[in-house]
Amino acid sequence: MSERNPIPLILTGIGSIVGTVMVLWYYGYLHFAKPEDALLLSDFTMLKTIPGEDYKVSLEAAPQVAQCIDGVLVLFDTQQKGLTGVLVDNKRKAVRCMGQETPQEVK
């Protein structure tokens, strides 16, 4: 009985894995995170409103715009196009939206 050479099988397996990863990355199904992807967009502070008490805010608007998507508050940066993020608290929990219904799938 002759023994099979395992080298071609190993190389084929490695090539298949590398090829699959490259195709998934090319079509956008796979994203390699970079350190700059996890940077904070800006620091935000909540101003607590108390009835009868005045508070001051700047007349100039922030460069971020928020929108409620699927019940989560999503921030869009107007200065850096394409930069979006979900607003989270210090424990990485998403800030939820109220007042808008979650989109439902049309059947």
Name residue, tokens 């190993």.
Answer: 10
* Edge-to-edge order in the sheet of strand 84-86: 64-69, 72-77, 84-86
The per-residue pLDDT for range 3-54, each reduced to its tens digit, is 888 899 999 999 999 999 999 989 888 877 776 665 565 667 777 888 888 8
**pLDDT at residue 99, rounded to an integer:** 66
Backbone angles phi, psi at 90, to 5 degrees: -70, -10
pLDDT at 98 over 90: no
- The residues spanned by each domain of the chain are 1-32, 41-107
The per-residue pLDDT for range 60-94, each reduced to its tens digit, is 888 888 888 888 888 888 877 776 788 888 788 88
